[in-house]
Structures are given as structure tokens and as C-alpha cells.
A and B are shown apart, each in its own frame.
Chain A
């Protein structure tokens, strides 16, 4: 089945640094979602994007729905230790409102 290509696979950064990760696909998506998963937990929604070009913020997090509808990025500013986790992009392909496709995840480690 369709999968989203997410990069980077992992990141090791220092506290206070900004982080950027992105997701690309060869297919068009109607929605883009960004989830965070902490150890031992299920994914939790961070940001949802519904229109091409949309730029949405949630605190220190900012995400954009690409103009081509085939990509999205997530930025985290001034990272803190509790940002540690796996970040997943996800989306609904055109014509598949009932099916959510996930990216492969970006593992983020933050050092003091």
C-alpha cells in the first residue's frame, strides 16, 4: 500500500535548537496530520492541515500543507527535552476519506 516517505529517520539535537522534518509522497493527499508518539504510548495528534498551502502553528510547532498536496513539513522551535519521541506524518489520500496512511516516522532525541 501507499506509504509516505518521511525524513530524516532520526535526529539528535541540543536543547534550544530548531528542528525540521518533512514528508513526501508521489500521490496527492487531501489532509496532512502530524502525530507524536512517546515511549509506551499511542500517537497523539499535534497538528491537522486541510488545505494546500495552509500553515498552522501549535505553540512551538509549525506545519505546512504543501502547495502540490504531495508534501508537508513540521518545524519545532527552541526544542526542549520533552520533545523527545517519534514524529509521524499521516494523511488521507484523495478518494480515501476512511483510510489514514502513515509515514515511517522521525525519531527525535534532545540532549541537554
Chain B
């Protein structure tokens, strides 16, 4: 089954404790992206990657890091989480022809709470 998986689905942590949210897709997609969803703000892009070893900042990259060492995985790293990073996070993937992304498939989401 074609899917995007995220782990963990729920996480409660404390300020400053490094964490990683994993994202994996089994569709051989070139393009992967991370979003955060906050009430009244919709989804805002954090980082995206157009292929292995190619990453770029989205609209709200501060406080986050990503890596793309393999095509299927795109982990989101919070080196020193703060309470304002409490949010619902989505990973997405799609094909990328070089001119446009195709339909983005979203993971189930990770609800993060930073105390």
C-alpha cells in the first residue's frame, strides 16, 4: 500500500530536549516536505527536499533541521525544542518532474507538545 508514515504520532517533551520525528514514504517520490498546522493558520511549510541531499527552507524553518540521505526518509529534527513549536506536524511526498510537484500525499500527522 502506497503511504507516508510518521513516527511518533504523539510526543510530549520538555524544552531543550532534542527530538527527531521520522518520515518515510514507499512511493519512490523525489519530493518530500514538512508542514506544521496551527489553529487559524492552516498548514505552513517548514522545509522541503526535491531529491536526495537537496533541501531548502520553507516559510517557517527557524528552530528546525532536516536531512535527506535516502530517497525514502526525511526526518525533522528539533535540536532545542521550545513551547512555540507545540503543533501538529505533517510530512508529505510527491513526484517532481523538475517543473512542478505532483499531488502531495500526506502522512497521518505527529502531535507534538513542548512543555
The list of the 4 closest CB pairs from A to B, nearest first, reads: A42-B106, A1-B59, A102-B43, A97-B100
Interface residues of A in 29-48 (CB under 8 A from B): 30-31, 40-45, 48
**In the complex, what residue of chain A is closest to B54 when comparing beta carbons?**
A98
Please give the residue numbers on chain B whose beta carbons come within 8 Å of chain A beta carbons, in ascending order: 4, 31, 33, 35, 40-45, 48, 50, 56, 58-60, 90, 92, 96, 99-101, 103-104, 106-109
Interface residues of A in 75-112 (CB under 8 A from B): 88, 90, 92, 97-105
Q: Decide if A45 touches B103 in the complex (CB within 8 Å).
A: yes
Residues of A within 8 A of B43 (CB): 43, 88, 90, 102
Interface residues on A, range: 20 to 34
Interface residues of A in 6-25 (CB under 8 A from B): 6, 9
A3 at the binding interface (Cβ < 8 Å)? yes
Residues of B within 8 A of A92 (CB): 100-101
Q: Decide if A102 touches B42 in the complex (CB within 8 Å).
A: yes
Q: Decide if B90 touches A1 in the complex (CB within 8 Å).
A: no
Q: Decide if B109 touches A97 in the complex (CB within 8 Å).
A: no
Report the bound CA distance from A103 to B37 in whole Å: 11
Residues of B within 8 A of A42 (CB): 4, 90, 92, 106-109
Residues of A within 8 A of B44 (CB): 1, 3, 102
Q: Decide if A88 touches B58 in the complex (CB within 8 Å).
A: no
Residues of B within 8 A of A2 (CB): 59
Q: Decide if B101 touches A48 in the complex (CB within 8 Å).
A: no
Q: Decide if B109 touches A40 in the complex (CB within 8 Å).
A: yes
A2 → chain B closest CB, angstroms: 8
